[in-house]
Amino acid sequence: MKTAIADISDENSVKAAIQEGSAFLNKSINCLVNNAGIAQPFLEGTQLQRIQSWQNFISTNLSGAFMMSEACLPFMPHGDASIVHISSVRAHFAEPNSEGYGSAKAGLIGLTRAQAVSLAKHVRVNTVLPGWIDTSGGSMEVTDEDKEWHPVGRIGRPEDIAEAVLFLADSSKAGFITGQELSICGGVTAKLVYPE
């Protein structure tokens, strides 16, 4: 495995990392998964701190995905390449103080649709919207109530997202799918919730 380190909010850093990675991959990138980002979804602190947090969410979670895409495009084979953005169900559902995170993740859906149309003959572009995914490796405490909140009776696992991304990346299986969003949330977004 070869890794390249980049600050995805910095265009020059992104370009350098993609140049390094593409050289390792014989100048060919079949799939880009834009998964990097700030995960803490809440704006906190003073007004100045909230504005700075907003700018960080947008520059990292949204602009970073755009810059990564732009840097990879010259190395993507025509008609057999895929970009998969990782958004969030929070693009459609909000909690207090989630303006920066939710807006950036909703922006990824707009970016997906625009790129899918602009790049239609060259690259397929889709987005995955994870719900609650246990990324702690099983060390996070999950209650029965947490599980029951999900119609499927459990919270998500990283492999749920990985399988969706692999499917969308594979042109032999998803070659006619572009510009779409796929929610991986255990049915939470389909559930009607009444106030208690």
Query: How confident is the model at residue 114, as a pLDDT?
Result: 99
User: Catalytic residue at 194?
Assistant: no
Which domain, by its residues, includes 101?
Answer: 11-190
What global pTM score does this model have? 0.92
Residue 2 located in a structural domain: no
Query: How confident is the model at residue 178, as a pLDDT?
Result: 98
Residue 4 located in a structural domain: no
Query: How confident is the model at residue 41, as a pLDDT?
Result: 66
Give one DSSP letter per residue of the chain, joined into a string: -------TT-HHHHHHHHHHHHHHTTT---EEEE--S-------SSHHHHHHHHHHHIIIIIIHHHHHHHHHGGGSPTTSEEEEEE--GGGTS--TT-HHHHHHHHHHHHHHHHHHHHTTTTEEEEEEEE-SB--STT-S---HHHHHHSTTSS-B-HHHHHHHHHHHH-HHHHTT--S-EEEESTTGGG------
Query: How confident is the model at residue 1, as a pLDDT?
Result: 65
Q: How far apart are CA 5 and CA 64, in angstroms?
A: 13
Q: Give the model confidence (pLDDT) of 119-160 as tens digits.
A: 999 999 999 999 999 888 767 788 888 888 898 999 999 999
Given the residues 57, 66, 75, 101, select the one marked as catalytic. Answer: 101
Residue 1 located in a structural domain: no
Total count of domains within the chain: 1
Tell me the two tokens of residue 101: 């995170």
CATH of the domain at 54: 3.40.50.720
| Residue stretches of the chain with pLDDT short of 70 | 1, 41, 138, 196
Of the candidates 151, 125, 32, 43, the residue with the CA atom closest to the CA atom of residue 90: 43
